[in-house]
Amino acid sequence: MKIYKYGDNVDTDVIIPARHLNNPDPKALASHCMEDIDETFASTVEHGDIVVAGANFGCGSSREHAPLALKSCGVKCVIAKSFARIFYRNSINIGFPILECPEAAEAIAPGDAVSVDFQTGVIIDETSGKTFQAAPFPAFVDGIIEAGGLLHSLKARGVAK
């Protein structure tokens, strides 16, 4: 696995530029993911890689195409100092794991080997030997993720038909 590390305020326009929104096929979105801040991302990213970023990750446009593009690239999760709120809820709703952990986001370096336990929120930087604790999701949110996303959880409850 590899770490891709970015700074603060990575907006959804750079995660997936609007010029590519006319084709919402996840594979098409993945092929342009991050291209406006990192030309090599889409061609080098592999299943299980992790994106580490600063504050306010995913700010700007509400486009769900952004977490979809990252998920479709095979990105395992995003670890950030903080997330913009629409990106946060979009990620939960589509079952894409995100972890809010300022300490880990600061300390993890590109090239580090990192493992993540989504159940406990424990992040281990195996290269530096440091362990971090991300803020756990509330039970309500865990329920959405466990059901495989918001629509499935609403169907399971019988409120969506």
Partner 1 sequence: MGMTMTQKILARHAGLASVEAGQLIEARLDLVLGNDITAPVAITEFDKAGLTQIFDKDKIAIVLDHSVPCKDIKSAQLCAQARAFAQRFDITHFYDVGQMGVEHALIPEKGLAAPGEVIIGADSHTCTYGALGAFSTGVGSTDMAAGMATGLAWFKVPSAIRVTLTGKLPPYVSGKDVVLHLIGLIGVDGALYKSLEFAGEGVAELAMDDRFTIANMAIEAGAKNGIFPVDDQTRDYLRGRVDRPWEAVEPDADAVYDQEVVIDLSALQPTVALPHLPSNTKTVDEVAGLPIQQVVIGSCTNGRLKDLQEAADILRGRKVAKGVRCIVLPATQQIMMDAMAQGLVQIFIEAGCAVSTPTCGPCLGGHMGVLSNGERAVSTTNRNFVGRMGPTDSEIILASPAVAAASAVAGCIADPAKL
Q: Segment contacting partner 1 (CB under 8 A): 42-50, 71-79, 115-123, 141-149?
A: 141-149
Residue 85 touches partner 1, criterion: CB under 8 A: yes
Q: Do you know the residue count of the chain?
A: 161
Strand order in the sheet with 98-100: 3-5, 50-53, 77-80, 98-100
Residue 110 touches partner 1, criterion: CB under 8 A: no
Instruction: Tell me which H or E stretch contains 144.
Output: helix 139-146
Decide: residue 111, CB within 10 A, 0-12 exposed, 13-18 middle, 19+ buried: exposed
Binding mask 44-73 for partner 1 (x = CB under 8 A): -----------xx--xxxxxxx-xx-----
> Closest approach of Cβ 111 to partner 1, in Å?
25
Residue 31 touches partner 1, criterion: CB under 8 A: no
In the list 30, 34, 52, 90, the residue contacting partner 1 (rule: CB under 8 A) is 90
